[in-house]
Structure 1
Amino acid sequence: MNDELSRMQLQLDKHSGQIAKLFSKIDDTNLCIQKINTSLMQIKWGVFGAFAWYIIGQVGIIEAMRLAI
């Protein structure tokens, strides 16, 4: 009985360590996903800005602003 209890305690300690490692890896993964998301948002707004710049260039607002200044 005592041997079974000590084996169960050892198994419980091992599982606790494994769970702690998994939570640590999850935190690292979430941090990486957040960085990827930030990069994608920067790319998205860069594309929107380039598209707006192209449209403004085609409409001629940039030329009108140059004449006004």
Structure 2
Amino acid sequence: AIEAWNVRKDVEKLKRSMTEIESVILDADERQKITNNHELNYWMETLNDALHAAEGFFDEVSTEKLTRE
């Protein structure tokens, strides 16, 4: 499916971004343990939501690929 849409580079870029987001979330989580920053909580939730949406996308693509094979 990814090849059919010709978006392989975009998918790889998104995967790298997901790894970076996970790192930021882990760092922010450690900071949150030290201080109770509501703005940080908001951004952590937003990043988590974006990460879960991207993971859902990859799950759908994987399922679609397996279905076609």
Higher relative contact order, chain-length normalized (CA < 8 Å, sep 6+): 2
Q: Which protein has the bigger helix share?
A: 1
Structure of greater Rg: 1
What is the TM-score with the length of structure 2 in the denominator? 0.47
What is the TM-score with the length of structure 1 in the denominator? 0.47
